[in-house]
Copies of this chain bind each other. A is one copy, B any other.
Amino acid sequence: MIDIRKLKELVRLMVENDLTELDIRDEQETVTVKRPGLHVAPQVVAAPMMAAAPVAHAAPAAAAAPAAAPAAAKEVLPAIESPMVGTFYAAPGPDKAPFVSVGSKVGPDTTVCLIEAMKIFNEIKAETSGTVEEVLVKSGQPVEFGQPMYRIRPS
């Protein structure tokens, strides 16, 4: 697993030396670090086999993650991602208010949604603290593993 201190060290190294791109990978991990040319906004991607990583081939059609492609200029907030495959429900019942909506404050134990799989409704916790900035999935829609559901501004 990637050590965050090591990553910091790498970025510092890049800044000091004015590098634009750094790509490290081995059996277990991949690290790609890019710095602005003059115009591209600061973008740091770091992680094991990551998210939108450097996908050589088009993402699979269909249900594939709307996650990808953060607009270059826009600040990208962390997301609460689905830990499973199933159907997303924003509220505890058809006529009930949603668990959270834009502006809601959440803590690690706040239930943010239900995901139904095999007739079982699983309560999903925020597992982070902050404010809901965006709801990315509509109630009743399917979600896949790792799909971002809420954007959270950390507190």
Chain A residues packing against B (C-beta within 8 Å):
1-2, 4, 6-15, 17-37
Contacts and interface: CB of A to CB of B under 8 A. Distances in A.
**Copies of this chain, count:** 2
Which label, helix, strand, loop or mixed, suits the secondary structure of the A interface?
mixed
Nearest to A35: B19
Contacts of A30: 23-26
Contacts of A20: 34-36
Contacts of A21: 32-34
Given A18-B35, A23-B31, 5 more contacts: A4-B6, A11-B13, A15-B17, A26-B28, A26-B30
Nearest to A6: B4
A3 to B, nearest CB: 10
Given A1-B26, A7-B10, A26-B2, A18 B32 contact: no
Contacts of A25: 29-30
Given A4-B6, A6-B4, A23 B13 contact: no
Contact of A19 (B2, B11, B26): B11
Contacts of A28: 26-27
